[in-house]
Structure 1
Amino acid sequence: MPSPCQNASRNAVIAQHRIEQASERCRCFSHHRAPAAEPDPVTMAREPTTVANAISMTEEQSRGDCQHRQVRVLIVGLGPAGSACGMGLADSGLDVLAIDRAHFPRDKICGDALPLNSQTLIQKLGLNDQSPQLQKRSFLAEQGSVRARQYSNRNSHGGWHRNGNGILSGTPCMQTVRRRELDHWLMQRCKDQQLAMQFGWQAERLHWDANEQRWKVSGSIHDPAGQRTGQFAIKAEFVVGCDGAGSMIQRHCHLSQGRPLLALASRCYLGDEAMARSDRGSGEPISRIDYRWPGEATYAWAFAVPGGYNCGVAAMPTPEGGHGLRGKELIQRTRLWIDHLLCQLDGQRPIKRHDATASSQREIRTMAIPVLHPIAQLQPPAGVLLTGDAASLVDPHQGHGIDRAMESGALAAEVLRNGISAGLGPHELTEHFQDRLHTWIEIWRQDWHALALERMDDQALNQALVGLS
């Protein structure tokens, strides 16, 4: 999902503090004590109990077409959350295994824009030095947003300038990396640190083995062509759910949070860099965000990426779970948005609509994304840590989640690394992780207020902002 430049009204001190904390977790981990132990995981697990034979920590067996393993920590998913967790645990001395159902590189529906916090984290990992060709910087034009409606009446403010009916950033503040390339690059950093990984391993079941006091994750193994080649069963004391939207780990924990709050988003790539040419003579392209539907928290975007533009529409939910937009209407609005963009070319050569995956016949891809709940927080059983989209941490204002995935993945690594070293048990570690995550969630929930402002007409918006001043 996309994210524009950091909102000017956001608390800069808090944001910078979070950046520094998360960045530090990618390099080193400070010690934190956890609360005293309470009930053991058996009392919290809701999956059926099964009995399995013990397997040593280092033993790897193949029984028929099933691979059996036992590790201390299992990371399920190797997107930004799983990679951040994996890098944090790679040199910990713990027996760690990370699995992903895909073979990399693989496509991922996303706006490809990097939120400010994730820009900082990724640059500290060396993206700009090692692979600068993977990223693209651009100016950002906004129209119809709260920021644009407030700033468009001024000559310039906070680094923004008037631009027709909207505003334009004074610097190329947008940074994008195609998710196919970003996730592959992050996975390679895990490989550089000798993290044990398996690809094509699709986790399908999670249950608690009461006899061995361990979680068991099982599923099927597939080759790069998608053909099933076997199955696996992994026992672990700790399972870190980094498996994104529709998380199997979250689902099999049978967590009760009520109806999930889902954002709907589309994505289509336009393969011509002339689409958003710069009028500033700097050679930098212009990305766009346009709140084209007054009274809705629905916006369209066109973000410059290497080799083209990522375009789409995002419909954000209400706190009650509705957004009044169905899949067919989302696709229709996306096509109209693309036609609008093509009309702005002013004689430029034609742009062809295409998808990132050559084998796909779909021009526009869509997905539903679980956003952060305004009140409830998922409470997984002891020994299970949920991160990123699997923990429903996505920003409800504009739908970005890469930064929160990396931060929560690094936090999981920190808590596990320090807690296991201190001899803490699964319940203590899980509770400590939840407490630390809750502190961030309380800050992130401010995005719901920003979303409410986007839905207001100009009169209501002015009254609301006066009340805040």
Structure 2
Amino acid sequence: MSAKPQQESRQVQVLIVGLGPAGAACGMALAGSGLEVLALDRAHFPRDKICGDALPLGAQTLVQHLGLLTTSPELQCRSSLEERGSVRARGYDQGLTGQGWLAERGAILSSTACLQTVRRHDLDHWLVERCRERQLPMEFGWQVESLRWDQAIQRWQVRGRIRTREGKPLKRFAITTPVVVGCDGAASAIQRQSNPARPRSLQALASRCYLTPHESQTSSAQAQPRSRLHYLWPGESTYAWAFAVPGGFNCGVAAMVNRHGDLPIRGRDLMERTRQWIQTLNHDWDHSAVEASHHNTSTIQTMAIPVIHPTTAPQSSAGILLAGDAAALVDPHQGHGIDRALESGALAATVIRKGVAMGLAPAALSERYQQRLAVRVRGWQQQWQALELESMNDTALIKALSRPR
């Protein structure tokens, strides 16, 4: 008879599940706090993460504060941004936009290299290394499978399986903790299992494919690359992008959900539009300038994105704090995802650190976090007005943009 798999058992004060930007921000803030913290991720790093790779201004500020520019400048790429068909571009034709943009063949071009990108493969690995420098206890290949609240001891019982980088099962684990910070992404096991009654978040659809220059084109590449953001389908909140990243371009199509939860297209249409967008890029770049990685459409990957919504109301069980994608804080239309993950992860750490010092129970910690996160969410929800504008015709758009504020 074969021996039963060995089980790894731990008891900690705080368990962080997921080591993307939200989990890393939370972990860095709690490392050295005196609390017994464990952070785990089901993947082994470095690992890929489907993303547009663009950093909004808030995320740029946060990662630069952590030292990305000084320690690893080769991971970053800056480019100008060309917009076509967007509210900003359409408003420019009517003289309604501010400074910083130049008209160019029916589109607008930023006058500076305003777009900063870092491949998520590199960014997440870099953040994990910063956690390691701060001696945050971490485990990789640990996948949560069950979560149960033990009323008798007022603790969560978290169980799962440990796997090698190749996916081979090693053994099981069991962790006892009063506080779980769920940073485990769009398909959050922590969110699902801690509060099954919580309404499912609205989902946007997006695709991604990396395009890389031919070697013959590398020497003639522009000193400052140009990224693109094009609204090619009038009347839809759907857009295509090609963002310059180190070594090539991150390209894809995003279909945004509306206030009623409806998507303008389905997954099959998303793939077809992505292929059309890649063909358009290849044509614009003289066919030979860019090639799809591995030359096949299997490199086009798709994802569902849990988006923030005007009716989003953060809610979770006692001792559960959800951050980043697990809390449905993403706004792909405005490019907000990484910044809100970093911000919410750091907020969770602040609430935990101060709350434990005050002697707050797990339920009180969760309530305090939800109250503080709700304040920020209300501000983020107001940005949905811009999404509504994208679907307007030019007459309605001019009227809306001209309305006194």
Give the aligned partner of residue 235 of structure 2: 295
Structure 1, unmatched stretches of 5+, are 1-62
Pairing 1:70-469 to 2, within 5 Å after superposition: 70-154=11-95, 157-272=98-213, 283-346=223-286, 349-354=288-293, 362-395=298-331, 397-398=333-334, 400-469=336-405
Is the CA contact 2:185–2:326 (under 8 Å) kept in the aligned structure 1? Answer: yes
Superposed CA deviations along residues 179-214 of structure 1, whole A, max 9, x for unmatched, are 000000000000000000000001111110122210
Q: RMSD between aligned alpha carbons?
A: 2.3
TM-score using structure 2 length = 0.94
What secondary structure, in the 3-state scheme, does the structure 1 residue paired with 2:265 have? Answer: coil
Q: How many residues matched?
A: 401
Give, as a single letter, the amino acid of the residue that structure 2 aligns with 1:349.
S
| Residue 420 to residue 110, structure 1, CA distance change in 2 (3 Å) | same
Distance 2:222 2:298 in 1: 35
After alignment, is 395-404 or 370-379 more displaced? 395-404
Query: Could you tell me the percent identity over the aligned residues?
Result: 56
Alpha-carbon distance in 2 for matches of 1:468, 1:67 = 62
Distance 2:200 2:155 in 1: 30
Give the Cα–Cα distance (whole angstroms) in 2 for the partners of residues 255 and 128 of structure 1: 41
The amino acid that maps onto 1:143 is R
Return the offset for 1:376: 3.3
Q: Which moved more, 1:391-400 or 1:429-438?
A: 391-400
| One-letter amino acid of the counterpart of residue 352, structure 1 | E
Does structure 1 conserve the Cα–Cα contact (< 8 Å) formed by 2:24 and 2:127?
yes
Q: Is the 8 A contact 2:91 2:97 kept in 1?
A: no
Give 1:362 shift: 2.1
How far off its partner does 1:406 sit?
A: 0.3
> Which blocks of at least 5 consecutive residues in structure 2 are unaligned?
none
Contact 1:259–1:321 (8 Å) recurs in 2: no
Closer, same or farther: CA 396–176 of 1 in aligned 2, 3 Å: closer
- 1:35-81 C-alpha deviation (Å, 9 max, x unpaired): xxxxxxxxxxxxxxxxxxxxxxxxxxxx9511011100000000000
Cα pair distance change 1:361/1:70, threshold 3 Å: farther
Q: Is the contact made by 1:372 and 1:396 (CA closer than 8 Å) also made in structure 2? A: no
Distance 1:230 1:256 in 2: 31
User: Shift of the alpha carbon at 1:428?
Assistant: 1.7
User: Partners of 1:111 and 1:276 in 2: how far apart?
Assistant: 24
Deviation at 1:383, TM superposition (A): 0.5
> Could you tell me whether the CA contact under 8 Å between 1:202 and 1:220 is conserved in 2?
yes
Q: Secondary structure at the residue paired with 1:352?
A: strand
Letter in 2 for 1:461: L
Moved over 6 A (4+): 273-277
Question: Any conservation in 2 of the 1:155–1:161 contact (CA below 8 Å)?
Answer: no
Secondary structure of 1:215's counterpart equals strand
Measured against aligned partners, the alpha-carbon deviations of 1:159-194 in whole angstroms (never above 9, x if no partner) come to: 111111110001001000000000000000000000
Question: Distance between the aligned counterparts of 1:300 and 1:225, measured in 2?
Answer: 34
Shift of 1:153: 4.5
CA deviation profile, 1:323-381 (whole Å, cap 9, x unmatched): 131111000000000000111113x63422127xx9x9822000101101211313101
